[in-house]
């Protein structure tokens, strides 16, 4: 059995962007872990016991970002896969909501002011095998500059493919 690995799901958005798409990448030791060839090209592969830290980078351009509300992850078995596990990180449910975040850290990314948020706890990969389309929805609260103490919410999304344990049940 291999030693569990610690991955990082890095989600990035620009406070000024008009689209709802999050830039997303799953990193291992700071490098994208996307499969670039083979049967699972274009997806990310995990093993049972691996963990997934969540990091959100908000490019703020000096505007004050109030907070992250939540990150909702939904997994759907890929293609016609018949598998007994609803998601790679929660075998009892296809959905998972992250509401607890560490306080944001102000920084700069490529010369732009930014705030980095991290989830308080990593996701643990618990399913022994399977393939999923993972969809994520990040709810962000922004201040309304025209109204004191008022906020508005935006929802950003992403959708990587994930595989656990080679995708198939062990023989």
Ranges under pLDDT 70 in the chain: 1, 64-66, 79-81, 145-149, 167-171
Assess contact for 57 and 12: CB atoms under 8 A.
Answer: yes
Question: For residue 58, is it within any domain?
Answer: yes
Assess contact for 38 and 93: CB atoms under 8 A.
Answer: no
Give the pLDDT confidence of 116-128 residue by residue, as tens digits. Answer: 999 999 999 999 9
Specify the pLDDT at position 151: 78
Question: For residue 171, is it within any domain?
Answer: no
> How many structural domains is the chain composed of?
1
Question: For residue 156, is it within any domain?
Answer: yes
Determine whether 13 is exposed, middle or buried from the number of CB atoms within 10 Å of its CB (0-12, 13-18, 19+).
buried
Specify the pLDDT at position 49: 95
Specify the pLDDT at position 119: 97
Assess contact for 65 and 106: CB atoms under 8 A.
Answer: no
Residue 112: which domain range?
6-164
Question: For residue 170, is it within any domain?
Answer: no
How many other C-beta atoms lie within 10 A of the C-beta of residue 165? 18
Question: For residue 32, is it within any domain?
Answer: yes
Question: For residue 135, is it within any domain?
Answer: yes
Question: For residue 68, is it within any domain?
Answer: yes
What pTM did the predictor assign?
0.89
Instruction: Look up residue 101 and give its DSSP letter.
Output: B
Specify the pLDDT at position 82: 74
Question: For residue 169, is it within any domain?
Answer: no
């Amino acid at each position: 059995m291999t030693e569990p690995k610690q991955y990082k799901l890095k989600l990035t958005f620009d406070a000024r962007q008009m689209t709802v798409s999050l830039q997303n990448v799953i990193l291992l030791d700071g490098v994208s872990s996307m499969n670039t060839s083979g049967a699972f090209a274009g997806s990310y592969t995990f093993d049972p016991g691996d963990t997934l830290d969540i990091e959100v980078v908000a490019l703020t351009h000096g505007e004050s970002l109030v907070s992250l509300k939540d990150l909702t992850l939904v997994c759907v078995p890929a293609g016609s896969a018949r598998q007994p596990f609803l998601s790679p990180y929660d075998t009892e449910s296809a959905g998972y909501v992250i509401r607890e975040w560490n306080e944001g850290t102000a920084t700069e990314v490529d010369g732009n002011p930014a705030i980095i948020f991290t989830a308080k706890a990593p996701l643990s990969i618990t399913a022994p095998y399977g393939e999923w389309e993972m969809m994520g929805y990040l709810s962000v609260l922004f201040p309304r500059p025209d109204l004191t103490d008022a906020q508005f919410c935006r929802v950003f999304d992403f959708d990587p493919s994930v595989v656990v344990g080679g995708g198939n049940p062990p023989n």
